[in-house]
Structure 1
């Protein structure tokens, strides 16, 4: 929305709106640029994790449960900064012992003190909008590690290639991808409707691409015809 519209809607001054939006932007909840406040992602800007965490909740939970089938005790697993991967966190304690490697502060805090889980926290420059560490230091640390499994998501899928809005994110996810033996992509159906600027990885490079049941069947058919291992995550039935 335009800032003038917000001031009119709430009956307060534009100066007050600017001050409040500045505070929300510092928390990574929105973007403010050229008189416009934006919460949703665009081809150039990803929305904050605080906004994304509440989107497609049921679909992400179903995909996380499907991804748990690839996690076994005594593995070292890498998790990216996606809110889809965060849905794995409540379930990891059922498959211990595990070593979890992540650049995401939210995941570190959630898993801190969990019995049977050791953590490797990747450092670097901290980015508030995604609650994660990225940059050259992060990539260098990842290059010195080898994981059994990497679970990630993406901002957009264009021409059956993962895309993201920021190069820093692309660099970190590529490094994690290269450091893992098995790579799992969580891609809810909305990713196929979005666009982003920077190409990351083709879907055909992943060992499995897990999608939600709401995906257009045409995408599934095309991907499978092109050799992509697509798994459709079904929501758990009531009472399970």
Structure 2
């Protein structure tokens, strides 16, 4: 296991427990306690965990209460893997709507390899990643930029989306729940996603495994509104994500293709 992936898993294990010991992390990860301490020190410097006697506790803010910059370091290696997997599903020559979010920024990084593409983006971060990339015809949807997120929302964004048609919508999501479907923490973000779903021939949703079993504030759509869901392999591990296997099964029963990256 590479260092970045080990850090991701360490953080996932800390986040999933009220408190976890160095010895337990060592056993779960198959590395020495010295390595665990070094990894916890690195995560603490990023503000993602807090060291306590004999172990660590998570300090990550709840998703709905933290901005893009605060969430960006969370599981960066996992999100990059997801980004590559989603980009591989995009056919050259497609018209793509790319949602806002920390994971879709990684999708943007990998889309250049799928050129030529027309890509409409819903965030300033994605626009920056794709600007001046050869073979990428970049469209910025516009609208109001949400403070802290730099995602485009509001009536102007909705009117722009309603005037366009896409082959594929790459949708990030705040939560996916077996009974309650796809949901978001922001009403504005939920409205933009609903417009994207309506204007795309197919939709790929992407999220790391921590989003499975989560019911956020505003429902976006029923499970079956999405064609493909890409998440990381940890979603199938009920030891770290108790709601993961059940949510994946519900998605499959709803006709959603699931891809574990």
Give me the TM-score of the superposition, normalised by structure 2: 0.69
Q: How does 1:1-240 map to 2 (within 5 A)?
A: 40-41=61-62, 45-158=64-177, 159-216=179-236, 217-233=245-261
Report Cα offsets for 1:69-94 as digits up to 9, x if no partner. Answer: 22121111011111111111221221
Instruction: Name the CA distance, whole Å, in 2 between partners of 1:160 and 1:108.
Output: 32
Give me the TM-score of the superposition, normalised by structure 1: 0.75
1:224 and 1:133, CA in 2 relative to 1: closer, same or farther beyond 3 A?
Answer: closer
2:46 corresponds in structure 1 to none
Is contact 1:203-1:209 (8 Å) kept?
Answer: no
Instruction: Name the CA distance, whole Å, in 1 between partners of 2:205 and 2:226.
Output: 7
Instruction: Tell me by how many angstroms 1:160 deviates.
Output: 4.9
Instruction: Name the CA distance, whole Å, in 1 between partners of 2:215 and 2:235.
Output: 16
Report Cα offsets for 1:87-123 as digits up to 9, x if no partner. Answer: 1122122111111101211111221111111111111
Instruction: Name the CA distance, whole Å, in 2 between partners of 1:118 and 1:140.
Output: 20
Instruction: Tell me by how many angstroms 1:224 deviates.
Output: 2.0
Uncovered stretches (5+) of structure 2, i.e. residues with no partner: 1-58, 237-244
Give the structure with the higher percent helix: 2
SS of structure 1 residue aligned to 2:256: coil
Is contact 2:204-2:228 (8 Å) kept?
Answer: yes
SS of structure 1 residue aligned to 2:164: coil
Q: Which has the larger displacement, 210-219 or 71-80?
A: 210-219
Is contact 2:176-2:182 (8 Å) kept?
Answer: yes
Is contact 2:227-2:255 (8 Å) kept?
Answer: no
SS of structure 1 residue aligned to 2:212: helix
Instruction: Tell me by how many angstroms 1:39 deviates.
Output: 6.2
SS of structure 2 residue aligned to 1:87: helix
Residue-pair matches, total: 194
Instruction: Name the CA distance, whole Å, in 2 between partners of 1:86 and 1:202.
Output: 25
Instruction: Name the CA distance, whole Å, in 2 between partners of 1:56 and 1:214.
Output: 12
